[in-house]
Structure 1
Amino acid sequence: MHAAAARIRLACFDVDGTLTDGRLYYDKDGNESKAYFVQDGLGLKLLQQHGIHPVLITARNSQSALKRGADLGIDTQIAVGDKLASVQALCAQHGIGLEQVAFMGDDLPDLAPLGAVGLAVAPANAHPWIAERVHWQTRTEGGRGAARELCDILLAAQGHVDAVLARFGA
């Protein structure tokens, strides 16, 4: 996995069940909300700062995903019907091949991109059909640090750990 992680230039993340715990909350007016894990957000920013382009991709028409992406200053695609086509378009835009892409997803809508990229990752709580088809499964669940695990692996494989630690005073 280290060799694959060292090649990654684009890191795509499903949202529900990956950056969140997969639960949806509705208030009495039908407004949806979900919780995002702060450490995941820092990991995404660190990727961006070290030349790995993070992107959030969700099939849902999720305003909270747009808000989270905007807060982090990273690209976010919502209401995506074909996630593989979206990843392929991102590859063309960035002039890279699918082998330079990491994709993290937890359920069936993520199956096609997971099967096509250089590094397919699932959180610990992924559906079993997904978990058995990825290169690596995190120890932590979606919405509880799974995305950060992947970010840390990518940063380490590309030799950025010392720079990250130095930035925070180590």
Structure 2
Amino acid sequence: MTTEDGDLTVAVDGVLDPTVEPIETAITTLWQCLRGLAIGDFQRRAMHRLLGAGDTRPIEKLLDGEGRIDWPLRLASGGTVTVRVWRGDGLTTQQRVAARYVPVQLSAARHGEGLWAVRDRATDELVRDGEGQARRFALEHSARAWVSGQVALAGYRGYRQGGTG
């Protein structure tokens, strides 16, 4: 679900510098940091339910979709701090998908004309349709539109990256 299938980056502005660790360790680090802050009882109980109960599922559920969550905590002194949690690479699912696919020209005929396809950087292969054939596009714009469609789909929960679709 995360980079290195478990790494998260956690930070608390002005209190905890961004720290990348496996999910269980990252949540423990964040909880230890927040326990030391002068915050109200309601916020402390909410943070304990989210971070201190030893269950990673609540944070993982919040990270579904964008891959990043930020929330403010009000300090007893009247100020606020922002708590930040994101997937190990710091990219949203949509950014990850956008970086994964790149339009490539298959054959350059005269005057830059030719067929286009989309290369999947994760596999270094051309994206294929449901029948196993490489997707081909007459225009670069069409190939970019396909990538944009995949990026848009990535915003939905339960999106699974893949070359077919």
Band of TM-score, shorter chain:
under 0.3
Q: Which has the higher contact order (CA 8 A, sep 6+)?
A: 1
Instruction: Identify, as 1 or 2, the structure richer in helix.
Output: 1
| TM-score normalised per structure 2 | 0.24
Name the larger-Rg structure. Answer: 2
Pick the structure with more strand per residue.
2
- TM-score norm. by structure 1 comes to 0.23
